[in-house]
Every structure is written in structure tokens, then in C-alpha cells.
Amino acid sequence: MKKISDYAAEAEMALRALKLSEKEPASLYGPVDYALSSGGKRLRPGLVMMSAESFGSEKALDASRNAAAGIEMFHNFTLLHDDVMDHSEMRRGRESVWKKWDATTAILSGDTMLTLATQLVSKVEDDKLRSVLDTFNHMALEVYEGQRLDLDFENADSVNSDIYIEMIRKKTGALLGAAGAIGAIIAGAPEKDVAAMATFGEMLGIAFQIQDDWLDTYGDSSTFGKPIGGDILNDKKTFLLVKAMEADAGTVDALKVTMKELKGEAKIKAVTRIYEKLNLNEVTRQAVSFYTKQALKALKGTSLSEEKREPFRLLVDKLTGRKK
Amino acid sequence: MKKISDYAAEAEMALRALKLSEKEPASLYGPVDYALSSGGKRLRPGLVMMSAESFGSEKALDASRNAAAGIEMFHNFTLLHDDVMDHSEMRRGRESVWKKWDATTAILSGDTMLTLATQLVSKVEDDKLRSVLDTFNHMALEVYEGQRLDLDFENADSVNSDIYIEMIRKKTGALLGAAGAIGAIIAGAPEKDVAAMATFGEMLGIAFQIQDDWLDTYGDSSTFGKPIGGDILNDKKTFLLVKAMEADAGTVDALKVTMKELKGEAKIKAVTRIYEKLNLNEVTRQAVSFYTKQALKALKGTSLSEEKREPFRLLVDKLTGRKK
């Protein structure tokens, strides 16, 4: 059985086939090549190809290579622009594009990546073009809306967990949903399967993001890859913090004072103690479990055989059961 | 006879029909609405519609409304991002988006406009979609390449006029070319007419940009709308400066010293004197005339009757014979 890692490796080859390092002017395409050659797990384009082959055949897999590359190109375009917005100096262990060059380069080469992505996903048969393109553009708008909501959250006094879920559905879920859906469209799958794969990806994205929030507080720093508690130190509006802010007024006041007065390890410990009091470790795991089940339910609703559903189930395990 | 201003007025209505002010989240779409409601001559979307009706009929005109709005949306997307790159605080007499909000907003709402533009130009009949989309995406890449070359010019020691022409062909010509071509595609015009309209727009764009450079030195400040000599004061690499830099070594040295040592009115006068010595007033007018003729030649090569070519000729006059 082929796994997501096999498809991810094929997606990597599709990206290399673009030969971005040869395109002129190098001042425009060089940063695109730099961003795309810095690794990344290629799960999103892998999902496009896995979906295409699962709903179709080897022919559908071949037909999905460019669209898969386009989905990864889109993802990396958002990273270039997000890094400018967030002033993030590092990305995948290397300097981010704006840091290595400048903000102008990150903006303009990012724009270039969005158009290249649109070109790549458009390289499908004529009778699939409208559907693939509509799915792609709709997804793109959801990603921007999610990013905007995320930015607005940081300045908002209160955020409720329903809006938080809607934000991560758009910011993280929409792209995974489009990846699954576009693969199915290319394979000629019926509308019902396409819609189910969109839901599968969206729910998986939500589960993944909540799990990521959980790991930042409850993970093991040696396997998580970054220090535990970073989100708490940065007052980041995670699922845990948003849930905590929905508690009784006394707890919320205590939490606000703690966040404002304390620093460093003391802050991490005190906030975590409040999370414990609210049973948020358990509440958060349950939320991950809920959205994971939603993803699996959508998967089961497709016309895929149990055998063909297996690599998708393994992808779910990989993204939501992971320790790092 | 309908003129470009009539089509521009129809394009304005197509933009208003988008009701951008009602879209949520307002923090994302509000700046899009702000940018698009600040006026602008709407010549590019007007050209889409004029081309569609001229090669087709009223039905083609109707079918081109969304694509026209998409072309204007794309143009304004580039302005949002260019203003961030150039730190331009004003745009059409109002604060630019990054100045009114922040760079993050200009980047993210700009990205949104690029996707909205792609959606809008895709609202054509299925049998036109591939052709319109390919034309649009190819144009977009040329615009980015042109902007990149323009940025690189500012840091280059020497720039030759061939590269300069290539830069403005991409930065200014490509969008006008795509506007003319997309209108023709929507009207179902033959390939030959589509290609001719692309050339028409490109050549018109080059002529327009060189004329703009000329006006900055030789125009009448009362009708030009901004002070004469701004480009000279800013050492902007205009057609005139690029041409002057191709003169004999003695003149180039004198020009460099003049640009470096002098300021204000004295600098404008001294540089203009060197331009006069090189006969650049005349050389530049001839270049405008050359590219204008190329545009008219392309127009004549279409299957349009002389009567139907008339509004396009008037557009050429408007853009290249203008005093402001």
C-alpha cells in the first residue's frame, strides 16, 4: 500500500520538475526557488495525489502532479507573506525570504507564487478546469479570511471558541480540504465524493491545529521541536486560552492578572495551573478527538473501499496522534 | 459612436455591482472597497468592454462585464502592493491602504484582490475559460517581472534603453494588452484578432509610459497635475535618463556629476540642459510616435472595420497626445 509519504515524495519531484532556479529574472524567481527548496513535509500536495489515485487510477495520479505542485506553491506563497506580516525571521531552519532579501522581495515573489499556483492547478483537463479553479479560488479566499480573523483576534478583547474554530477551519482546514477535493475532481469522482473529501480535509485541519495548540502546553519539548509554553509566553490566542476565557468571571480575572503580571517559567506554570483547574487538557483532547472523528466520518461517507481508505486513516493518525 | 469614456462608465457600474462594502470580514474586504472606490479612469476595464463589443455585439459586451471588473481589480491589487514597496503614502488624492491601515492590511487585502480578480475573469463561457485564464495569468507574471526589473533598475549602475522598453512593456503594456485580448476572446474573435489586440495594448502602454516620462520634464505643470522635474530630482530612471546614459563618456560623466552635486531647481535646469544638448525632447517624442504607430498598425491588422477602429484610435490619442 502506498502511503502519504510516498505521495509526498512524488510531489517533491513534481516541484523540482518546475526548474524554478532557471527562470528569469532571478531576482524574482530565485526567492521562489529558495522558499520551495527548503523542505517541508509536502503533505498537502501528497494529499492531492493520494486522493487522485485513490478515486481514479495511475492515470489520475499523473494528471494530478501539476495541481499538487500548485497546492504546495500556494501554501508557500502564504508563508512568504505571513512571515512579513508576523515579522518571523526564521522558516524551516533558514532565514525567511523577507529577512534574507527584503519585504519587497517577499511581497513580489509571493505574488508571483500565487499566480504560478493558479497556473499549475489549471493544468487539468478542460472538463475539470472550472471545478478545480472554483475550488482553488474559494479556498484561497477562505485562507485570507482565516489569516485576517487570526490577526484581528490578537487585538480583540474576547474571542469565543466558535469563532476560533471557524478561524482555524479557514486558515488551516480549507487548504487541506481543497487538496483532497481537487485530487478527487481530477480523478473524475462524483460530486458527493468531492464534497466528502473537502470535509475530510477541513476537519483534519481543525483537529491538527487544536492538537498543535495542545502540544505547545502539554507536549514533550524533546519531540515537539520547540520549547513548551511559547504560546503562553506570547499570550497567543490558542484553543486553550480561548476556552479558558469562557470560564467564570473569577477565573477569567485571575487568568488576565496572571498573564499580565508574571513572566517566563512562572507565567507558564501559573497559566497551566489555571488550565488544569478548568480540565483543559482533557477538554482539548476531546476536541481533537471530535474533529478527528468528523474527518473519519466524512472519509467513510465516500465511495472508497475500506482498503483505499486506509492511507487516509494513517494520515489522520500522523497529524493528530503525533507527539511532535 | 460609443467612446472609451462610455465603456469606462459601464465598468464603474460593474465594479459597484460587486458590493464589496457588504463582504465579511470587513477588516479584509473594507480596504478592497476603499481602494476600488477611490476613482481611477477605468480605462483598462473600459478597453476590455470596448474590445468585446467591437469584435462581438451587445451580448459580448454583457459577457465581458465581470472580466472587465477583474482587470481593474488586478490593476488595483498591484497598486496596493506597489505602494507598500515604494512607501508611497498617497494614491489618487487619498491615503494609500498601508498608510491608512498598515502594511499587513495592504498585503493581505491585496492578495484577496488578486484572487477576486482571477475569479472575475473566470466568469466567462466554458469554451472561453482556458484562453482567458491563460492570457490573464501570463499577463500577471509579466507585470511582476516588469515591477522586479523596475526595482532592480534603481540599484543598477547602467541600464540600456532596450531593457528599459522591455521593462515598461511588461509593467505597463502587458495589462493593456491583456485587456484588449480578453475582450476579443470573449467576443469569440479569431486568434489573429486576439493577438493583434494584445500587441495594440502593449504598444499603447509603451507609448503612454514614455509620454509620461516626457511630460515629467517637458510638460506643463498646470495641466500635468504634479510639479515638473520630479523624476529628475528623484534620479528616476526614465526613458530620458536611460537615453542620456547611452551618450558619449564625457556627457555621461557630466550628467552624473550634475545629478550628484546639484539640488532643487538648479538640478532640474542643469539636467534638462544636458537633455537638450542630446536632443532628447525630440528623441523622446519620436519614440512615443514610433510605439503609437505600432499600436495603430496592430489595430489596422485586425478584422475591425474602419468605423469600429475609431474609438480605439481616439483612445490612443487620449493616452499619447494628452497634455496632462
Give the pLDDT score at A221. 74
Residue range B270-275: average pLDDT? Answer: 97
What distance in Å separates the CA atoms of residue B40 and residue B72, rounded to the nearest whole number? 9
B4 by DSSP, 3-state: which?
Answer: helix
Residue A92's φ and ψ, nearest 5 degrees, are: 50, 45
- For residue B322, what pLDDT is reported? 55
pLDDT tens per residue across span A44-60 = 999 999 999 999 999 99
Residue type, B319: L
Average pLDDT, chain B: 95
Determine the residue of chain A that is closest to B27 in CA distance: A148
Q: Give the C-alpha separation, B307 to B258, whole Å.
A: 51
Q: Rounded to a whole number, what is the distance in Å from the CA of B277 to chain A's nearest CA? A: 35
Residue B174 has pLDDT above 90, yes or no: yes
- How high is the ipTM of this complex? 0.96
Question: How far is the C-alpha of A99 from the C-alpha of B236, rounded, in Å?
Answer: 27
Residue B94 belongs to what H/E stretch? strand B94-95
What pLDDT, in 10s, does the model give residues B49-60? 999 999 999 999
- What pLDDT is stored for residue B228 in this prediction? 87
Q: Helix B280-300 crosses helix B306-320 at what angle (to 10 degrees)?
A: 160
CB contact (8 A) between residue A25 and residue B148: yes
CA distance B301 to B299: 5
Average pLDDT (A249-254) is 96
Q: What whole-number distance in Å separates Cα of residue B209 and Cα of residue B107?
A: 26
Determine the distance in angstroms separating the CA of A108 from the nearest CA of chain B, rounded to an integer.
7
Q: What is the percentage of chain A residues whose pLDDT exceeds 90?
A: 93
Residue B324: per-residue pLDDT: 42
**What's the CA gap between A171 and A178, in Å, rounded?**
12
Rounded mean pLDDT, B254-260: 96
pLDDT of res. A133 = 98
Which residue do the cell numbers 469563532 mark? A163
A273, A192 Cβ separation under 8 angstroms: no
| Residue B112 per-residue DSSP state | H
Q: How many CA atoms lie within 13 A of A131 on its CB side?
A: 20
- CB neighbour list of residue A300: distance below 8 Å, 6 or more residues apart: A309
SS3 A31: helix
State the Cα–Cα distance between residues A80 and A98, nearest whole angstrom: 8
Q: Distance, in angstroms, between B3 CA and closest chain A CA?
A: 33
The confidence score (pLDDT) of residue A324 equals: 42
- CA angle at A29 for the pair B81 and A121, rounded to the nearest 5°: 85
Answer whether residue B79 shows pLDDT above 80. yes
Identify all chain A residues contacting B119, using CB atoms and an 8 Å cutoff: 137
Q: How far apart (Å, rounded) are the C-alpha atoms in residues A139 and A123?
A: 18
Please give, rounded to a whole number of angstroms, the shortest distance from the CA of A188 to a CA of chain B. 18
Q: Where are the alpha helices (DSSP H) in B103-248?
A: 103-121, 126-155, 161-168, 174-186, 191-218, 221-224, 230-233, 239-244
pLDDT at residue A322, as a whole number: 55
pLDDT of res. A247: 95
* Residues 6 or more apart in contact with residue A307 via CB below 8 angstroms: A1
Give yes or no for residue B68 having a pLDDT over 80: yes
Count of all residues that appear for chain B in the document: 324
Q: What percent of chain B has pLDDT over 90?
A: 93
Of B92, B84, B129, B139, the C-alpha closest to B109 is B84
First to last CA, chain B: 25
Q: For residue A158, what is the enclosing H or E element?
A: none
Specify the residue for cell string 493558479: A118
Beta carbons of A79 and A38 less than 8 angstroms apart:
no
Quick one: residue B239, left, alpha or beta (phi over 0 = left, psi -120 to 50 = alpha)? alpha
DSSP state string for A210-254: HHHHHHHHHS-HHHHSS-TTHHHHTT---HHHHHHTTS-HHHHHH
Among A150-159, B41-50, B297-306, the range scoring the smallest mean pLDDT is: A150-159
Coil, strand or helix: which one is B159? coil
**By mean pLDDT, which of A118-122, A144-148, B90-94, B152-156 is the weakest?**
B152-156
The SS3 of residue B95 is strand
The SS3 assignment for A94 reads: strand
Cβ–Cβ under 8 Å, residues A107 and B81:
yes
pLDDT for res B306: 98
The stretch B162-178 carries a mean pLDDT of: 97
Q: What angle do CA A12, A14, A19 make, to 5 degrees?
A: 100
A218 to A244, A266, A281, B271: CA distances (angstroms): 15, 16, 8, 68
| Whole-angstrom distance, CA of residue B204 vs CA of residue B317 | 10
H helix and E strand count, chain B: 18, 2
* pLDDT reported for residue B224: 67
Amino acid, single-letter form, for residue A117: A
Q: Say if residues A252 and A245 touch (Cβ distance below 8 Å).
A: yes
User: Which residues, 6 or more positions from B6, have their beta carbon under 8 angstroms from its beta carbon?
Assistant: none
Determine which helix (DSSP H) or strand (DSSP E) holds A95, and give its type and residue range: strand A94-95
> Which cell numbers in the block locate residue A149?
480573523
The rounded percent of chain A whose pLDDT value lies above 70 is 98
pLDDT tens digits along A189-231: 999 999 999 999 999 999 999 999 999 999 887 776 677 899 9
Q: What is the CA radius of gyration of chain A?
A: 20
Contacts of A119 in chain B (CB under 8 A): 137
**Under a CB-based contact definition with an 8 Å cutoff, are residues A179 and A45 in contact?**
yes
The helix (H) or strand (E) run that includes residue B44 is helix B43-55
Nearest by CB to B111, from A81, A112, A116: name it: A81
Residue with cell 472508497: A304
Confidence band for B158, pLDDT divided at 50, 70 and 90: confident
Cβ-nearest to A114 among B114, B116, B130: B114
**Closest by Cβ to A107, choosing from B28, B84, B118:** B84
Contact B302, B312 (CB under 8 A): no
B83, closest residue in chain A (CA to CA): A104
Nearest CA-CA distance, residue B142 and chain A, Å: 10
B50 vs B184: CA distance, rounded Å:
9
Tell me which chain B residue has its CA closest to the CA of residue A110. Answer: B111
* B157 φ, ψ (degrees, to nearest 5): -70, -45
A126 and B130 within 8 Å at the Cβ level: the answer is yes
User: For chain B, what percent of residues have pLDDT higher than 70?
Assistant: 98
Whether residue B152 and residue A84 make contact (CB cut-off 8 A), yes or no, is: no
Nearest to B15 by CA among B147, B91, B120, B150: B120
Q: Which amino acid is at A307?
A: E
